[in-house]
Structure 1
Amino acid sequence: MNRAPPRALIRMSATAVSAALLAVAASCGARADDSASLLKAMTEYTAAQKSITATFDSDVEIITPDLQKIQFTSSGQLRMARPDKLRIRRTGGYADVDLAYDGKTVSLYGNNAKAYVQADAPGTIDQLVDTIQAKTNAALPGIDLLLSNSFDVLTSDVIEGYHIGQGVVDGVECEHLAFRGRDTDWQIWIQAGAQPIPRKYVITSKTVAGAPQYTLRIKDWKTEAIADADAFAFKPPEGATKVGLDSDVMVEFDEVPAGTTSGAKK
């Protein structure tokens, strides 16, 4: 027969939980001062790398009108050569997209739509990202980790930050940092040691009911020079059609189905 727990036990449990919460809060407060220095070390490390290749998995959440949370998953590859070469391929259940930038022209190909868009964009990767975000309002979550001024961009809206402690991502020991902003909160797991590589990045939207998140997990990080001369050259596949940014087929380039609303943005 089930019996109600003694009142004394309930009080003791509540006290233990309260003590644990206070201990966590005190621990976070003690580590608050070094969250910025750990983040700064990561951004300086990534900015100093002339070449970066990596693979990634990403999850984006949306909230339906009846408040159901749905998650969409994709994977991809990144190749970057500073200051002006970038290639990102992302494949998911609803998108198969290839972005190529050779320092002069940016090309975006959607394999599902068998269509591509192109634009002249002479300059650097940083300038390209600024242009894309200004003209298309695209969030491009995760790209801010690789900009030359990444620290300034990441902390531009930060109200407070904490060094939560240690964590393990894909078997790698990491420093776990958490930051609060006005519209979004975000967390990052940075590989511990001499190579402070970003391993996991989570953005939580606070302005959307249900607080949807965007999660990025980075793997296979390498900094060797990219030997492939055509790594950043875009050649339209046979049968592909060139379209404008205002074309209806652009919906096929998104990683969530048409008619849904993206969740976390930063």
Structure 2
Amino acid sequence: MRSTTLRKILPGMGTALLLAATSSAHADDPAKILKSMTDYLAGQKTMSASFDSDIEIITPELQKIQFASSGEIKMSRPDKLRVRRTGGYADVELVYDGKLISIYGNNAKSYVQADAPGTIDKMIDALQARSGTGMPGADLLLSNAFDELMATVIEGKHIGQGVVDGVECEHLAFRTPDTDWQIWIEAGAKPVPHKYVITSKTLAGAPQYTLRIKDWKTDALNADVFAFVAPAGATKVDLEGAAIAEFDELPPGTPTGAKK
């Protein structure tokens, strides 16, 4: 009798405990947690980190294919940035010194340059507007990241805690009319993002973009880090040239009609 009673009671207790834990997690304000992250990042003079990214495409035959790459980011606010991305199809680097933006494609052995005086924010906007090129997690680097991230959000939830690369994080989920996105933010005094996932809701198959960020550092960076020196033998091309194409996370052989 006692054994039978325990078998009936224990599953119910587990469910009650799970619901209690979930309710507690949901009680935290996701916008407040996100704001602590964006304020922390915006308040850092210098930052560096490494990343791994995965981007999915849906072919015209409705097959889902994923492409992976890795890289590193170094920045000094308000006007210096260096990003390198290496994948199976590209090895490309962007260098911005506050006046000039340089993008070098190692595979193409070519680079492009353009005047872009101002800030990192303005440079990112100008680059995306002119070439349609995006950068991994660029919205997380902006000085007004919170406003940009929340601009079209219609719902936000604090899912609970999670562990990314061994780091305990707060797991948040947000919805917009076109996408669902999630972010895992380190718990404690250093609220940096460790994982960022964007899911498209407007395409069949719901392709995702996943970014994992690690090795966060706020140490001072030498000014030479943000000086571009063209490698020997590199050819300078127009802004629409090969180096720009290489910066896209999709390889040149992506099936025609594929959507990401």
Return the TM-score normalized by structure 1.
0.86
Is 2:98 the partner of 1:127? Answer: no
- Residue in structure 1 matched with residue 31 of structure 2 by the alignment: 36
Q: Is the CA contact 1:188–1:198 (under 8 Å) kept in the aligned structure 2?
A: yes
Deviation at 1:254, TM superposition (A): 2.6
Q: Which amino acid letter does the alignment assign opposite residue 178 of structure 1? A: A
Specify every segment of 5 or more residues in structure 2 that has no aligned partner in the other structure, as ranges.
1-11
Inter-partner Cα distance in structure 2 for 1:59 and 1:152:
25
- Residue in structure 2 matched with residue 69 of structure 1 by the alignment: 64
- Residue in structure 1 matched with residue 92 of structure 2 by the alignment: 97
- Residue in structure 2 matched with residue 224 of structure 1 by the alignment: 219
- Residue in structure 2 matched with residue 7 of structure 1 by the alignment: none
- Residue in structure 1 matched with residue 159 of structure 2 by the alignment: 164
Is 2:232 the partner of 1:234? Answer: no
Is 2:256 the partner of 1:258? Answer: no
* Identity value in percent: 68
1:40-51 equivalences in 2 (<5 Å)? 40-51=35-46
Is 2:192 the partner of 1:197? Answer: yes
- After superposition, give the CA deviation of every residue in 1:147-184 in whole Å (9 maximum; x if it has no partner): 11000000011010000000000000000000001111
Match of 2:49 among 29, 32, 54: 54
1:170-181 equivalences in 2 (<5 Å)? 170-181=165-176
- Residue in structure 2 matched with residue 83 of structure 1 by the alignment: 78
SS at match of 1:252: helix
Inter-partner Cα distance in structure 2 for 1:174 and 1:119:
39
Q: Which amino acid letter does the alignment assign opposite residue 206 of structure 2? A: A
- After superposition, give the CA deviation of every residue in 1:186-210 in whole Å (9 maximum; x if it has no partner): 0000000011010000011111211
- After superposition, give the CA deviation of every residue in 1:193-239 in whole Å (9 maximum; x if it has no partner): 0110100000111112111111110111000111x331001111111
Inter-partner Cα distance in structure 1 for 2:167 and 2:95:
30
Q: Is the CA contact 1:28–1:163 (under 8 Å) kept in the aligned structure 2?
A: no
Deviation at 1:66, TM superposition (A): 1.1
Deviation at 1:248, TM superposition (A): 5.6
Inter-partner Cα distance in structure 2 for 1:76 and 1:188:
19
Q: Which amino acid letter does the alignment assign opposite residue 237 of structure 1? A: P
Q: Superposition RMSD on alpha carbons, in Å?
A: 2.3
Q: Is the CA contact 1:90–1:97 (under 8 Å) kept in the aligned structure 2?
A: yes
- Residue in structure 2 matched with residue 12 of structure 1 by the alignment: none
Inter-partner Cα distance in structure 1 for 2:68 and 2:228:
25
Distance change (3 Å), C-alpha of 1:32 and 1:243: farther
Q: Is the CA contact 2:180–2:200 (under 8 Å) kept in the aligned structure 1?
A: yes
SS at match of 2:147: helix
Q: Is the CA contact 1:41–1:196 (under 8 Å) kept in the aligned structure 2?
A: yes
- Residue in structure 1 matched with residue 137 of structure 2 by the alignment: 142
Number of residue pairs aligned between Structure 1 and Structure 2: 245
- After superposition, give the CA deviation of every residue in 1:47-75 in whole Å (9 maximum; x if it has no partner): 00000011111111111111111111111
- Residue in structure 1 matched with residue 5 of structure 2 by the alignment: none
Specify every segment of 5 or more residues in structure 1 that has no aligned partner in the other structure, as ranges.
1-15
Q: Which amino acid letter does the alignment assign opposite residue 254 of structure 1? A: D
Q: Is the CA contact 2:50–2:73 (under 8 Å) kept in the aligned structure 1?
A: yes
Match of 2:237 among 220, 232, 243: 243
